[in-house]
Amino acid sequence: MTHASALPVRRGLVHLSIAAAAWGTGGAAGALLHRTGDLSPVAVSFWRFACGAAFLLIAARVGRRPASRPSWRTIAVIGPAMAVCQAAYFAAIADTGVAVATMVTMGANPVLVAVGGRVFLREPFSRTRLACVGLAVAGLAMLVGGAGRFTPAGVGYALLSAAGYSAVTLFARSAGDDRGRALWGFVAGAVCLLPLAAAHGLFPAPGDAGATVLLLAYLGAVPTALAYGLFFAGLRTVSGTTAAVIALLEPLVAAAIGVFLLREHLAAAQLAGGITLLAAVACLARSELNAAG
């Protein structure tokens, strides 16, 4: 394997890892917004997309690299799929709790992407890749842990969220290089979420306006504009299945934030789950680099 042939894949893996880490901070920011601004989860998702689009537009203007508008077909698929992913995930949390919603949604993601990648994109489905997906899902189950209630509606919402994420991943993987995909996806997603957000209260309650604005700015800039921009960039050179497994680093980063910043404690099984998840990511990353050679 030459350095030149592996370099784009290495860059893609780094982009995806940073995106997952940035997503891992989004949950804490959203929870703080709900607490300080009294915003519903759907309203938080709307402002997340709206602010993310604004940041990407500003970045394009400052960098003098205008983001081209992708095809209407791309916008019609990615925007609503992103909105469904967010809204269904929050609905699953409301019905089954965070642990079950996270386990079902994020556990189903790499499985759906792997199957979809094989059927629609003809991506290889080797035994190594299959084993890594299973290892990653097992690690996620151990990491999330905790008691939860499985309800048909809650599991259905979680699977719907996973289907939305999978559609975004597979469509972005097949669409090739398009710098405007994230920007227009946020615009379309915000439009889809606007009626639901307005019904639940679109604007934050009067109070600590400064903290609310800062949290919205952070949520729009880091876990949204930066994360999705890097995620779409990483999909140019890395398979959808590997990208979906790397995205499982999101709950691992969230757990690390809880330990180091909020002084929470991880049980031995959760620690083992995190190590298992990292091992699966490392295995798939090595497989991608070997394939690049």
Count up the domains in the chain and report the number: 1
Instruction: Report the alpha-carbon distance of residue 94 to residue 148 in Å, rounded.
Output: 12
The model's pLDDT over 195-209, given as tens digits with 9 standing for 90+, comes to 989 988 888 877 777
Instruction: Report the alpha-carbon distance of residue 95 to residue 139 in Å, rounded.
Output: 24
For residue 254, give its domain range.
3-292
The model's pLDDT over 107-150, given as tens digits with 9 standing for 90+, comes to 899 999 999 988 888 887 778 888 999 999 999 988 877 656 77
% residues pLDDT > 90 (the chain): 34
The model's pLDDT over 74-120, given as tens digits with 9 standing for 90+, comes to 888 899 999 999 888 878 877 887 777 888 888 899 999 999 988 88
Q: How far apart are the first and last CA of the chain?
A: 4
Instruction: Give the CA-trace dihedral at 152, 154, 157, 158, to 10 degrees.
Output: -110
Residue 68 has pLDDT above 70, yes or no: no
Instruction: Report the alpha-carbon distance of residue 129 to residue 126 in Å, rounded.
Output: 5
Identify the pLDDT of residue 46: 92
**Which of 243, 284, 250 is closest to 12 using CA atoms?**
243
- Band the pLDDT of 1: cuts 50, 70, 90: very low
The model's pLDDT over 11-22, given as tens digits with 9 standing for 90+, comes to 999 999 999 999
Judge contact between 33 and 212, C-beta under 8 A.
yes
Instruction: Report the alpha-carbon distance of residue 233 to residue 143 in Å, rounded.
Output: 28
DSSP the chain: --HHHHHHHHHHHHHHHHHHHHHHHHHHHHHHHHHHH---HHHHHHHHHHHHHHHHHHHHHHTT-PPPP--HHHHHHHHHHHHHHHHHHHHHHHHH-HHHHHHHHHHHHHHHHHHHHHHHS-----HHHHHHHHHHHHHHHHHH-S-----HHHHHHHHHHHHHHHHHHHHHHHH---TTHHHHHHHHHHHHHHHHHHHH-SSPPSS-HHHHHHHHHHHHIIIIIIHHHHHHHHTTTS-HHHHHHHTTHHHHHHHHHHHHTS-----HHHHHHHHHHHHHHHHHHHHHHHHH-
Instruction: Report the alpha-carbon distance of residue 104 to residue 156 in Å, rounded.
Output: 9
For 152, counting Cβ atoms within 10 Å of its Cβ (0-12 exposed, 13-18 middle, 19+ buried), the class is: exposed
For the chain, state the CA radius of gyration.
18
Judge contact between 255 and 140, C-beta under 8 A.
no
- Band the pLDDT of 189: cuts 50, 70, 90: very high
Give the distance from CA 198 to its chain's centroid: 24
Q: Which amino acid is at 129?
A: R
